[in-house]
Structure 1
Amino acid sequence: MKNDLFYTLERLANLFRSESKEAMGQLGLQPVHLEALSYLNICNRYSDTPQAVTDYLGSTKGTVSQTLKILESKHLIEKVKDPDDKRVVHLKLTVDGQHCIDNCYPPEGFGKVLEEFDETAATALNKQLKQILASYQSQAGREGFGVCQQCHYNRSTSHGFQCGLTEDVLSEHDATLICREFK
Structure 2
Amino acid sequence: MSMATEIVQLLVQSAGTWLFEGTRSDLSDREWMALRFLALANRLSRTPTALAGFLGTTRGGASQITAALQEKGLVVRKPSADDKRSITLCLTAEGEKFLKQDPINALRDQIVALEGSDRSRLRDTLRRVLVGLDVAERRHHTDVCNQCVFLVENGEGKDRHFKCRLFRKSIAPTETSQLCTYFEGRS
1:46 to 44, 47, 59: 44
2:83 and 2:171 mapped to 1: Cα distance? 20
Aligned match of 2:161: 160
Question: What amino acid sits opposite 2:17 in the alignment?
Answer: L
Question: What amino acid sits opposite 1:182 in the alignment?
Answer: F
- Displacement of 1:42 in angstroms is 0.9
Aligned match of 1:10: 12
- Displacement of 1:111 in angstroms is 4.0
The equivalences for 1:8-87 within 5 A come to 8-17=10-19, 21=21, 25=23, 27-87=25-85
- Displacement of 1:38 in angstroms is 0.4
Asked whether the equivalents of residues 77 and 90 of structure 2 are also in contact (C-alpha less than 8 Å), the reply is yes
Q: Secondary structure at the match of 1:173?
A: helix
1:128 to 125, 140, 151: 125
1:146 and 1:5 mapped to 2: Cα distance? 22
Q: Which runs of 4+ in 1 moved over 3 A?
A: 24-27, 83-86
2:38 and 2:154 mapped to 1: Cα distance? 27
2:62 and 2:143 mapped to 1: Cα distance? 21
1:148 and 1:112 mapped to 2: Cα distance? 24
User: TM-score of the superposition, structure 2-length normalised?
Assistant: 0.86
1:145 and 1:157 mapped to 2: Cα distance? 24
2:124 and 2:81 mapped to 1: Cα distance? 37
Aligned match of 1:149: 146
Question: What amino acid sits opposite 1:168 in the alignment?
Answer: K
Give the root-mean-square deviation of aligned CA atoms: 1.8
Cα pair distance change 1:173/1:105, threshold 3 Å: farther
